[in-house]
Chains A and B, each alone.
Chain A
Amino acid sequence: MKATTLELKGKIMTRTTSFLLLLGMILFLAACPSKTKVQEGDATTLRAKWTKEVSKVIKDPERAEKVIDLGAQVETKNRILYEEINRLKREMRNVNRNYDSRREDYERALGEFTDKKNEALRQYLDSLFAMRQQTTPKEWKALMK
């Protein structure tokens, strides 16, 4: 993910991409990868830290294991959806590149993105509530620090 973010930033530096960004990115408001704390970390390291953190807070091994698994699932889902978003980004660029693109073309590409984004939000909420269900208010508070 880090490499992809850097690659994107490099591309942004090019003239055409900045031009594309202007139209495409204003429209495609959330399609670019942002450099997040999670993305900065190596997946394995992240998982190890995650496991350590959860195990420290949730003393019940069974519940801790469930939260750890759910966390890993969030990461996997994100990677799958991230690929899909990249495809939609390319589609949006093509719409921008075409001088004859109509409003409907932009709306179709944006609609696809919105659907994908809503799907992602639903999935993350599912994971969040599933994790919270495995914790007590005190544990949740500790995990959220």
Chain B
Amino acid sequence: MLWAALFVYLAFWLGGSSEILFEPWVIKESKHQFKEVIQDKDRSKKAMKILDEMIHDAKNFTKDLLKAEKKLEKLVKDYRSNREDFNQLFSEIQGKREASTVKVLDRIPDLKSNILREEWAKAFEEGK
């Protein structure tokens, strides 16, 4: 009980909510949305490719996150673990998160270059 409470909170803040982010249906829905919004086939194809790369990177980060969660579980349970052990793990995952974020941010201009302003706006309007 205590273990569960402590672990789930810590895992949440470590970034353990990725199961919501990368469920297959989320990816499918997102790709579907892109396809609907981008009318030009060539641009759509390019956007899909960029999107696949972003998802690939995000999935890789999720794998790292799952490994980190297992380490976190051991640290929480271990009576001898110290703050430094936790901080080391947090730094490690933060470094990976930043690397993953940079990759995603790098791709946004490319993604937008394949989506017109009005298409972008339309995509957001549709869900109102």
Specify whether A and B are partners. yes
Among A8, A23, A121, A141, contact of B79 (Cβ-Cβ < 8 Å): A141
B127 contacts A14, C-beta separation under 8 Å: yes
Residues of A with C-beta under 8 A to B109? 103
| A interface majority secondary structure | helix
A36 contacts B12, C-beta separation under 8 Å: yes
Chain B 95-108 interface 0/1 with A at a Cβ cutoff of 8 Å (1 = within): 00100110011001
B101 contacts A27, C-beta separation under 8 Å: yes
Q: A103-B108, A137-B79 are known contacts. Are A21 and B10 too (CB-CB below 8 A)? A: no
Residues of A with C-beta under 8 A to B26? 12, 18, 21-22, 25
Q: Is A87 part of the binding interface, using a Cβ–Cβ cutoff of 8 Å?
A: no
Docked CA distance A132–B44 (Å): 55
Minimum C-beta distance from A3 to chain B (A):
16
Minimum C-beta distance from B95 to chain A (A):
12
A15 contacts B126, C-beta separation under 8 Å: yes
CB within 8 Å of B: which A19-66 residues: 19-23, 25-27, 29-39, 46, 49-50, 53-54
Interface residue range, chain A: 35 or more
Q: Is A90 part of the binding interface, using a Cβ–Cβ cutoff of 8 Å?
A: no
Chain A 82-116 interface 0/1 with B at a Cβ cutoff of 8 Å (1 = within): 00000000000000010100010011001000100
Q: What residue of chain B has the Cβ atom nearest to residue A145's Cβ?
A: B3
Q: A16-B128, A53-B1, A99-B120 are known contacts. Are A29 and B97 too (CB-CB below 8 A)? A: yes
Q: Is B45 part of the binding interface, using a Cβ–Cβ cutoff of 8 Å?
A: no
Among B17, B54, B83, contact of A32 (Cβ-Cβ < 8 Å): B17
A17 contacts B10, C-beta separation under 8 Å: no
Name A residues whose Cβ lies closer than 8 Å to a Cβ of B.
8-9, 12-23, 25-27, 29-39, 46, 49-50, 53-54, 67, 71, 74-75, 78, 97, 99, 103, 106-107, 110, 114, 117-118, 120-121, 124-125, 127-129, 131-132, 137, 140-141, 143-145
Additional A-B contacts beyond A30-B16, A144-B2 (17; CB < 8 A): A12-B26, A17-B127, A18-B29, A19-B33, A25-B21, A29-B17, A30-B17, A34-B19, A37-B8, A75-B5, A107-B105, A114-B94, A120-B13, A137-B79, A144-B3, A144-B77, A145-B3
